[in-house]
Structure 1
Amino acid sequence: MIREWAGLVGFVAAFYVTINTLLFAGFHVPSESMLPTLKVGDQFYAAKYAYGYSRFSTSFVPLPFGSGRFPDITPERGDIVVFRLPTTEEDYVKRVIGLPGDRIQVVDGRLYINGQMVQREKTRDYAYRDNGGSVVQVTEYLETLPGGRQHLIMEQRDDGFADNTPEYNVPEGHLFMMGDNRDNSQDSRYLRQVGYIPVERVLGRVSMVAFARKSCQEEPGLICPGGSWWDRLFRWVD
């Protein structure tokens, strides 16, 4: 009986380690930087196999890699990815905006990639209550990246702290990340805090929210960006 239970526990443990090491890893969203796509409390799973594996792919079982990835697959522009921050070793979730060799700049709140202004179309204005309890007025846009990928972004203003930047030249083997909540995201625009992210530090691609840990109650004149917990259940994200 003891051997049977020990065998079952060992099997479950080995199964969990295998899944967590090679296929998926679970994360939750701690900030509003990816609104309206991801919201605080969203639980999601990142596909580790999407871009191959590196020495950062697991904290449980060291993989036999030096630098780089195997196979060497670069994320696509517009992908939402989880990566390990070089400065603090924290796990961040952002959107890939710049690929190796790209030139990225923000001028008067507008995103430029390789000298071309990225198209955005206003969808609506609204107010919501943020995670700290304050009411925030925002404008929502549908942004179209080079290549045709579309996603929603939020802007409070076009003259904020990170709405006018120098031109960033993305080094080889690195990516430029941005949050969809453009005025409330610490991302690659902040070179000392985040900066360019080595491709080998990408942990996986995010495609679906499994469920929401926090509910959102709509109030008169206020909405819930991204919907309530029911709307988040097994929701695909772009």
Structure 2
Amino acid sequence: MSFFIRDFVRQDSMLKPFDWSGTATRANYWVLLVIFAIAINCFYVVPSYSPIFDVVLLAEAVLLVLVVSVTVRRLHDFGRSGLWVLLTLVPIVGLAGTFWIGLAKGRPDQATAWPPERRYRVGQGLTVLFGALIVSRIFWEPYWIPSNSMKPTFLVGDYLVAKPVDAAEPLKKGNLYVFGHPGTGSILIARLIAVEGDRVQIKDGSITLNGQLVQREKRADFVESYEPQGAMGYLPRCVNRPKNFGEPCIKQQFTETLPTGTTYDTLGIMQSALDSTGEYTVPERRLFFMWDDRDNSNDSRTGLAKGGMGFVPTDSLVAKPVVVIFSSAGRSLGAFWTWRADRFLKWLN
């Protein structure tokens, strides 16, 4: 702790977001890193529909610039190029790099710095990036997936962006939409199956839409690890009912193709009452939604009085998901080793 106490008295360079030409101490680095870790955990647990979400998002962006700038100057302090900051972006390796940067002892005889003109160019570029980020909030909304209801399309811990619904654009069956729950008002994401006037019935797990059986083909089983998932710590439901954490959790997987041509995958766990229903007729200005993990949700097949969502009013639609930009399997975004790199920038149909 002696290095931290000694360095803490030199905090003059900690809060210089665009000064990338100087050096920073170990205390500078660790103070901001801890603050950033706390902030990113707050960002993960605050719902996207919360009134303070945008404030948290902006604060997180400001802190990110501060962390990057102090990391660059920390590298300068022991004779490394600021470009080594890119090392921290690499999963797993980045975690080791973070500690290396934070623990390395400063070397005044080898300290280096970027030329002042480069510092200003970087500052100007980040200012433009900030402006674009803030303005772009008019055109997209961020959401995160806390539950299992939309597997395999979305996994717990997916972070996605969606564009506002265009009232002039016709709704397409099979597409994903963000909407408010008719009863609670909470924000949900589900798949549109039917619109007003359509007749829907489920028979042995297969959908019949306006008298036409929706094509449903068996696929290879969906397999994941049986362990708590996401910030809420939900356990997945499985066909094989594993007893110990880490064992394979198996679900049946199917591919459905609607008459519109839209194709998507669904999951099944067991035979239930919702696998065979009566016929629903969607009322005027109402929509019929289903989640992709069919045996793990109460969707439009279940009425409000029984804990489902029933028919969803068309004016409850909020947005249409566009892309999964980030995904973390752990309880916190700060758990670098749980990031799912294969789901970064995963575009949706």
Band the TM-score falls in, shorter-chain normalisation: 0.7 to 0.9
- For the 8 Å contact 1:85–1:92, the answer to whether it is kept is yes
- For the 8 Å contact 2:145–2:154, the answer to whether it is kept is yes
The alpha-carbon deviation at position 126 of structure 1 amounts to 4.2
**Separation (CA, whole Å) in 2 of partners of 1:165 and 1:115:** 14
Q: Single out whichever of 126-135 and 107-116 deviates more from structure 2.
A: 126-135
1:154 equivalent in alignment to 2:267: yes
Give the corresponding residue for 2:288: 176
* Cα-Cα RMSD: 2.6
**Separation (CA, whole Å) in 2 of partners of 1:169 and 1:13:** 47
Give the corresponding residue for 1:231: 342
- The gaps in structure 1 that reach 5 residues or longer are 1-8, 53-70, 217-227
- For the 8 Å contact 2:181–2:187, the answer to whether it is kept is yes
Give the corresponding residue for 1:203: 318
1:32 equivalent in alignment to 2:144: no
| One-letter amino acid of the structure 2 residue matched with residue 180 of structure 1 | D
CA spacing shift, 1:142–1:213, aligned 2, 3 Å: same
**Separation (CA, whole Å) in 1 of partners of 2:152 and 2:176:** 13
Give the corresponding residue for 2:302: 190
Task: Report which of the two has the higher share of helix.
Answer: 2
Give the corresponding residue for 2:176: 80
**Separation (CA, whole Å) in 1 of partners of 2:158 and 2:132:** 27
The alpha-carbon deviation at position 166 of structure 1 amounts to 1.7
**Separation (CA, whole Å) in 2 of partners of 1:92 and 1:108:** 26
Instruction: Report the TM-score when normalising by structure 2.
Output: 0.52
- For the 8 Å contact 2:255–2:266, the answer to whether it is kept is yes
State the structure with bigger RCO (CA 8 A, min sep 6), 1 or 2.
Answer: 1
The 3-state SS of whatever aligns with 2:141 is strand
Structure 1: 4+ residue segments shifted above 6 A = 12-15
Structural mapping, 1:1-238, within 5 Å = 16=134, 19-20=136-137, 22-48=138-164, 51-52=165-166, 71-128=167-224, 129=226, 131=229, 132-133=234-235, 135=242, 136-157=249-270, 159-192=271-304, 193-214=308-329, 229-238=340-349
**Separation (CA, whole Å) in 2 of partners of 1:187 and 1:124:** 25
- For the 8 Å contact 1:80–1:207, the answer to whether it is kept is no
The 3-state SS of whatever aligns with 2:274 is coil
- For the 8 Å contact 1:103–1:170, the answer to whether it is kept is yes
Larger radius of gyration: 2
**Separation (CA, whole Å) in 1 of partners of 2:235 and 2:303:** 29
The alpha-carbon deviation at position 133 of structure 1 amounts to 4.0
The alpha-carbon deviation at position 195 of structure 1 amounts to 0.9
Give the length in aligned residue pairs: 196
